[in-house]
Amino acid sequence: SVRIVFGPAYPAEKSDQTRQRLLELSADAFAGRPALQEHLASVVAKGLARKGGSPAIIDRTAERKSLSGAVSLAIAYLLAQRIRRVVATRRVAIVLPPGIGAALANLACVIADKVVVNLNFTLGRAQVESCLSRAECDATITANAFREKLHARFPDFPWGNQLIDIAEAIREIPRWKIILMVALIRITPVSMLPGVLGLPDKGGDAEAALLFTSGSSGMPKGVPLTHTNILANLIQIDEAGIVPRHARLLSSLPVFHSFGFTVGVWYGLSRNITLVCLPSPIDTVANIAAVREERVTITLGTPTFLRPWLKRATREDLATLEWAVAGAEKVPADLTEAFVNELGTALIEGYGATEASPVLAVNVPDIIDTLAPGGMWKGNTVGSVGRPVVGLAVRILHPETLEVMPLDQIGLLEVRGANLFKGYLGDAAKTAEALRDGWYRTGDLARVDEHGFLHLSGRLSRFSKIGGEMVPHGTVEDAVLQAIGLAGGSELCVAVGACADPTKGEQLVVLHTVELDTDKVREALAAAGLPNLWIPRNFRRVERIPVLGTGKMDLKAIAELARR
């Protein structure tokens, strides 16, 4: 079907605003697609049924395990019946690494019309307890084997009042029930399957999942995502073309990570691809082995997790890998170049936010086409995070006046679309800060170039206003690393924060884990052409740079260290 949306007329002399208005109309048209009103359970059920007897999930946690699409759906459906019986609360906590257990637990809960809450098990006890309390979760799905491993690192982890061991729950399902269910799934036409199984058909604005932000700048915020939010992002990923049909997708990102959740669970289950799972992104050797042995074509990661591949992988290991998609933090240019030159694999940068379900923009490989201008459709611009996904409107605001600016000028990025959340859980004040008239304020400074590629300049919170000038922490970090000869290193050894300054408002503080001759560093920064205001005077040796379980820098902890 074709949907046409008309906006209000506007004067011809305001033609410079045409691009902005068309983006907004496009977002309105996309939001009206009927497919966005479906229920996530029905969409995934049809996706798994189409896979039939072909592998849907390959789990390489300990010993290799593989489940077909029909078997995955059958087990999840039978697990859902148990969850309906024994779990009274609307939301269900899940504490599991990526793998068959996490995928089936999430799907079973959604089939049972529950709200999934994948908890970040790397957080401290106080933060996890806060998440459980605000989510009003009483039941937690985990695995006893994983629980024992976690106990060694976090002996006081708060598990809630009711524990369900996913492995035991699957073992207790009679084999004949699974066989009958698989037969029913295989003989039923895909379009009729949700009705035959009695699955919910309408999800829309009902809550499907609750994710918590990483807490990089404070206590984690609860982000409820609706069925529409998640389904919109799945379609946006489809139309971006970043994961081709029949791809073999490796995801080892945690399921509590928004990319690991949407792409590594729901996209992997619902689309015609094979999902390969590993429990940890930091096990570099295991990830490379998975690519080689499972003939993986696409993988997801962050720069922090992917950089060690340069030391461990060979071109032969990654012979089937068409590209790696990196996000969650800025991708350094040297990492992109090294992946291509040393490993023969493209490293493509994307951008997202938990509040956006999460994908907002992504580069895609260039397409050679004799009919294209210059013989090629350009999909990738190094240094950008790609074009915004279909159905997403973007605008740029002046950081101080908040007036709308031309898209090609650097300012505060706001986005609007069907994949955006409606507000933080139980926090009207933070919701009012983040959402204005349907626009989500990302906190990132950005611009859009003439070809539609989005370029990020850094987090507004990672800028210091010194003597009236905005100084970017990330740029200073890169310059310091260059000055000490550690640019492109795999270890995080430098972070820039700020503390108060009585005359200039703020002053930069360089936190470092390696021995530095600060005078020589300052001289090197000046010789490199860094403005005087940008050259730090305050250097502080620390034992380690704080990092979150997602691989991002812990900005809250860095800010606290800098202020001491």
547 falls within a domain? yes
**How far is CA 120 from its chain centroid?**
14
Give me the helices (H) in 423-535, please. 428-434, 473-483, 518-527
Residues 99 and 116: their CA atoms lie apart, in Å, by 16
Domain shared by 473 and 326, yes or no: no
- Amino acid identity of residue 417, one-letter, is G
Query: Can you give the CATH number for the domain in which 368 is found?
Result: 3.40.50.12780
Domain shared by 473 and 366, yes or no: no
The whole domain housing 292 covers 35-377
* Residue-wise pLDDT tens digits, 318-334: 999 999 999 877 888 88
Domain shared by 225 and 373, yes or no: yes
User: Could you write out the DSSP letters of every residue in 182-218?
Assistant: HHHHHHS-GGGHHHHHT---B-TTSEEEEEE---TTS
Segment (H or E) for 463: strand 463-466
Query: Can you give the CATH number for the domain in which 520 is found?
Result: 3.30.300.30
When divided into structural domains, the chain yields a total of 2
203 falls within a domain? yes
Would you tell me how many other CB atoms lie within 10 Å of the CB of residue 495? 26
- Of the residues 343, 377, 411, which one is the last residue of a structural domain? 377
* Residue-wise pLDDT tens digits, 191-206: 999 999 999 989 999 9
Domain shared by 349 and 483, yes or no: no
Nearest Cα to Cα of residue 230 among 358, 349, 127 = 358
421 falls within a domain? no
Domain shared by 371 and 479, yes or no: no
Strand pairing category for 411-417 and 439-448: antiparallel
Would you tell me how many other CB atoms lie within 10 Å of the CB of residue 312? 12
Q: Which residues pair with 509 in a beta bridge?
A: 497, 538
497 falls within a domain? yes
- Of the residues 377, 406, 434, which one is the last residue of a structural domain? 377
Domain shared by 369 and 495, yes or no: no
What order do you get walking across the sheet with 346-352 strand by strand?
65-68, 55-59, 274-277, 248-251, 298-301, 323-326, 346-352, 359-362, 387-388
pLDDT at 188: 96
* Residue-wise pLDDT tens digits, 219-278: 688 999 999 999 999 999 999 999 988 999 999 999 998 999 999 999 999 999 999 999
Looking at residue 375, the DSSP 8-state letter turns out to be: G
Domain shared by 101 and 223, yes or no: yes
The Cα diameter of the chain in Å comes to 76
- Per-position pLDDT tens, the chain of length 564: 666 766 677 666 665 577 778 888 889 999 999 999 999 999 999 999 999 999 999 999 988 999 999 999 999 999 999 999 999 999 999 999 999 999 999 999 999 999 999 998 887 777 888 889 899 998 999 999 999 888 887 888 888 889 999 999 999 999 999 999 999 999 999 999 999 999 998 999 999 999 998 655 556 889 999 999 999 999 999 999 999 889 999 999 999 989 999 999 999 999 999 999 999 998 999 999 999 999 999 999 988 889 899 999 999 999 999 999 998 778 888 889 999 999 999 999 999 999 999 999 999 988 887 887 778 888 888 889 999 999 999 999 988 888 999 999 989 999 999 999 999 999 999 899 899 999 999 988 899 998 999 998 877 667 777 766 667 788 888 888 888 888 766 678 889 888 887 777 788 999 999 888 888 888 888 888 787 878 888 898 998 888 876 667 787 788 888 887
398 falls within a domain? no
Domain shared by 226 and 351, yes or no: yes
101 falls within a domain? yes
Domain shared by 179 and 52, yes or no: yes
Residue 309 contacts residue 287 (beta carbons within 8 Å) = yes
13 falls within a domain? no
166 falls within a domain? yes
Phi, psi of 281 (to 5 degrees): -80, -15
- Of the residues 350, 377, 404, which one is the last residue of a structural domain? 377
- As a whole number of Å, the CA-based R_g of the chain is 24
Residue 58 contacts residue 66 (beta carbons within 8 Å) = yes
What order do you get walking across the sheet with 494-501 strand by strand?
494-501, 505-512, 538-541
Domain shared by 80 and 223, yes or no: yes
Domain shared by 353 and 481, yes or no: no
Residue 268 contacts residue 218 (beta carbons within 8 Å) = no
Cα–Cα distances in Å, from 122 out to 127, 147, 219, 547?
10, 13, 13, 11
Domain shared by 330 and 476, yes or no: no
Nearest Cα to Cα of residue 251 among 143, 355, 326, 337 = 326
Residues 494 and 547: their CA atoms lie apart, in Å, by 12
